[in-house]
Structures are given as C-alpha cells and as structure tokens.
Amino acid sequence: MYVATNQKLPAEGEEVMTKIDDHKGVRNEQKLVRKGNLWFFPDMSMYVYYQPTHWKAV
C-alpha cells in the first residue's frame, strides 16, 4: 500500500517504490532513494527533477 509523501516520508537512504499519482493520472513509477529533499536513483548516480507524491517499501 502506498503512503502519500505529504503524510510521511521514507527513511533517508531507504530504497522505495515511488510514483506520481494526481489529477493527471499515475506516472513516473520507479525505485528511488531519498536524501534530504532530493530523490535519487538507487545507485545514487543522479537525482530526479520531480517530487514523488507516493511511496511504498520494496
């Protein structure tokens, strides 16, 4: 079950499944790792230029 990022954030450094789910539909479903306010690919090679709206443990 997904958790809204505006309700609770995952632990920093934890790999989680994320998505954007809003009035435009569901998109950008992928595994990411949060570090502060940024969300990175699991290998930490690059951060994404959006803020996921939901996440769940993998």
Per-residue pLDDT of 9-53, as tens digits, reads: 999 999 999 999 999 999 999 999 999 999 999 999 999 999 999
Tokens of residue 46, six digits? 């690059």
Q: Where are the alpha helices (DSSP H) in 7-57?
A: none
C-alpha 27: how far from its chain's center? 12
pLDDT band per the 50, 70, 90 thresholds, residue 5: very high
Rounded to two decimals, the pTM is 0.95
The whole-number pLDDT of residue 27 equals 98
The whole-number pLDDT of residue 15 equals 98
